[in-house]
Amino acid sequence: MHTVNIRVTHHRADVAILEVFAFPDVKKALKDIHALRSVKECVIIQTCNRVEIFAAAEDVNLAYHDIVDYLMEDVISRMRARKAFEHADAECVPPELLTKHIVQFSAKLHDAMEVEYHTDALRHLLRLAAGIESMIVGEDQILGQVRHAYNLAKALGTVGPFFEKVFTKALHVGQVVRAKTNINKGAVSIGSAAVELAEQELGSLNGRVVLLIGAGEMGKLVAKSLAEHRLKAVLVANRTHEKAQRLAEELGGRAVPFEELESAIAESDLVITATSSPEAIITRELIGDREKGLVIIDVAIPRDVSEDVASVEGVRLFNIDGLRSLAERNRRAREKEIVKVERIIEREMGLLIKQLYRIDVEGIVRDLFKEAEMVRQRELGKAMRMLGNGIGDRERRIIDDLTRVIVNRLTSPIAENIRRAAEQGDQEAVKVAERLLRGA
């Protein structure tokens, strides 16, 4: 079994590409990809700045083409459904315009897409769990996101023995690097980076009115950073009002009914939005005309704020792309720790490869012992028939034990040599053993 990783992340993609590539229903995508003829196991890791597919397959090249075909068909169907192009408001979309737009966007998507196979794909997963592939290097949230993705796939039955070992190792590496290095010391998250950006734009958050839209995990990270500032007021809005109330209480703020967003925005100096809404919740109409300046930071994928909001006088609109300069500064500050993390990853990679190759040859080893046992039983039966009634039960047990010991001592070294060949990457030796045992 081998691994292919297909991803679109903040490294190559802007927020518009990430928005289109993100699955609106991860569970459905997992089941669909797992059902592809070439895919044996599958895990999807989707966050605000990455969509990653890890697939296990016998033929990773075939799996790659099957998955990309599925992805392009899925993206194009969603683009058609949403009429995601400049004439989206038209009731009747000219087919040639839609086709042109889809072709152009597909080309951008291919440019943004990254693909890695085999050990490169596995190493990337370990780096991801360790936090050094994140936009904010050293963030702790990604480890929980990897764990959630694996648990979801496991619950849906899209992982088996191969990815169980792979993701168990990835989660272990994530824990080890945080325990043995300072990669996450004083680490910031996307949420705290958004607050830092807001502080840069407003000069200071002291005495400001802040509206936080979204009370999920990202909203809680933003809230944690906001709590460090002396704000005039904190307003929290969420579609589930009870969640907004709980988060507002923690911040010493006030929960706002979702239906009152317009008045809450009008009252605010800063809006940070992080919901899981499939469509924009802040529009040009909702903003209206402003009498004072407003900073809006949208860290949601898909975006919560319509692009035309940026045209409102006095409004400064930012999204995930606006955090890149902060992310780069954070990376430079952690370069020494990244080197330490990479050493740990390489050591753990060696152990993982040994484990995985053992999975690949265990079937051969089982066949070896099975064939040997069949021969033993057949020849033992012949011998017992020839001896007839001339021996008792005690003698029969002694002969049975003797033949079993002989067979085990002959086959065990062969099994270990097959395993060792696999661990050392000697695929030719493994193939020879397989041909001898299975006649392939």
Q: Is 48 considered catalytic here?
A: yes
Cα of 376 vs its chain's centroid, Å: 49
* 222-260 confidence digits (pLDDT tens): 888 888 888 898 899 998 889 989 988 888 889 999 888
Residues 216 and 136: their CA atoms lie apart, in Å, by 19
Q: Are 344 and 173 in contact (CB under 8 A)?
A: yes
- Per residue in 90-112, pLDDT tens? 455 555 655 666 666 667 777 88
Q: Is the pLDDT of residue 440 over 60?
A: no
- pLDDT at res. 439: 63
Q: Residue 38: pLDDT above 60?
A: yes
Looking at 18, 48, 166, 170, which residue is catalytic? 48
Per-residue pLDDT, 105 = 67
Q: Tell me: the pLDDT tens digits for 381-437? A: 898 888 887 788 888 889 988 998 898 889 888 888 888 887 777 778 878 888 887
pTM value is 0.77
C-beta of residue 104 within 8 angstroms of C-beta of residue 79? no
The order of strands in the sheet holding 41-47 is: 41-47, 50-57, 2-9, 114-117
Comparing 115 with 15, the larger pLDDT belongs to 115
- All domains of the chain, ordered by start, with CATH? 2-186 (3.30.460.30), 190-326 (3.40.50.720), 360-438 (no CATH)
Before 302, cis peptide (omega within 30)?
Answer: yes
Instruction: For residue 54, give the H/E element and its range.
Output: strand 50-57
Confidence of residue 84 (pLDDT cuts 50, 70, 90): very low
Q: Give the C-alpha distances (Å, rounded to integers) separating 330 from 87, 283, 337.
A: 40, 32, 12
Q: What is the pLDDT of residue 4?
A: 95
* 131-172 tens-digit pLDDT: 999 888 888 889 999 999 999 999 999 999 999 999 999 999
Query: Residue 358, Cβ neighbours under 10 Å: how many?
Result: 16
Structure letter (DSSP) for residue 36: S
CB atoms closer than 10 angstroms to residue 175: 12
